[in-house]
Amino acid sequence: KFSSFTICTNWDQGSDFKGNVRFGPQVDNVVIYQNDHLGTPQKLTAVNGAVVWSAKYSSFGQAEVDLSSTVTNNLRFAGQYFDAETSLHYNYKRYYDPETGKYLRVDPIGLAGGINLFLYASGNPINNFDPKGDLVWTIEVVVLIAIAAITTVVVLDHYRRHPLKIPALPSTSDDDDVGDKVIPFPKDPPIDYDDDDDDDFNCEEWLMLLNMQHDQISQLECKGYDMSKEKSEHNLSAQLFSEYCPHLSKQVKAF
């Protein structure tokens, strides 16, 4: 775990704490932020678990800091920094007044940010946040982006590790054995096929990879590659797909 100037904690692969390691400016006190679902600091704790800073907030982020706090924390809503001299929050592109729930300047992206050019987070600071003072984010969008990112990584990793196996095309050469072929997850040229002995396949996955292969061949052809052979092979695969998966035959792309 890193801070701006210090390696704060060192953990081994077994999740055992191995101690603090420091370099650069010496930092004697390491604190841990306890934030809410939008990233607003609720408490700061020392490494021994003692609360060294805490605050309660109004709906629009005006902090009432516990007088027993022993450290200073100027972070407020996500992307905001408390200015003690003005009691305003610096929000990157605009200053924000937590007492009124409004910015001091109009939204730099204009009406694209909503009809009220001064209001914070579309008037819903419980579920929304604005880390740069221009574009409102909702917690639902953040969750969906996280789910999509994780799903994409898992799917890509799955198809790289486990290429889809489909029935083989009959060989046109007397020297070639009739065997199953594997369509790997699409990648940069060349597109090749490997022999395998397993004849398990899945129509939906096969359709997805065939259509991705079609798009890849089209893109490579636009870049100047001679893809006539690959187009012919793809059409044969698409034809075979239609025979094995007739209920999806209208969805497969062919040249």
Of the listed ranges 5-9, 135-139, 142-146, 212-216, the least confidently predicted one is 5-9
> What pLDDT does residue 23 have?
53
Residues paired with 81 in a beta bridge? 75, 90
Mean pLDDT, residues 25-29 taken together: 62
The confidence score (pLDDT) of residue 113 equals: 79
From the list 108, 102, 93, the residue with the least C-alpha distance to 123 is 102
Strands (E) in the chain, as ranges, are: 31-35, 41-46, 51-57, 63-65, 81-83, 88-90, 95-97, 102-103, 128-129, 137-138, 164-166, 180-183, 194-196
Is a pLDDT exceeding 80 seen at residue 28?
Answer: no
Question: Highest mean pLDDT range out of 62-66, 174-178, 190-194, 231-235?
Answer: 62-66
| Strand, helix or coil for residue 139 | helix
H helices, E strands: number in the chain: 3, 13
CB of 80 within 8 A of CB of 121?
no
SS3 content of the chain, % helix, strand, coil (to 5): 30, 20, 50
**Alpha-carbon torsion 102, 106, 111, 115, what sign?**
positive
Checking DSSP bridges between strand 95-97 and strand 164-166, what pairing results, if any? unpaired
The bridge status of strand 51-57 relative to strand 63-65 is antiparallel
pLDDT reported for residue 124: 93
- Residue 6's pLDDT is 54
Query: pLDDT band at 165, cuts 50/70/90?
Result: low
**pLDDT score for 35:** 96
Identify whether the C-beta of residue 103 lies closer than 8 Å to the C-beta of residue 110: no
Q: What residues have CB less than 8 Å from 75, skipping those under 6 apart?
A: 33, 41, 81, 82
Average pLDDT for the chain: 79
Task: Confirm whether pTM is higher than 0.85.
Answer: no
Between 163 and 37, where is the model more confident?
A: 37
Give per-residue pLDDT as tens, 166-224: 555 444 444 444 333 334 444 333 333 444 444 445 788 888 888 888 888 888 888 88
- Farthest CA pair distance, the chain: 88
Residue-level pLDDT at 203: 84
Q: Is it the case that residue 18 has pLDDT exceeding 60? A: no
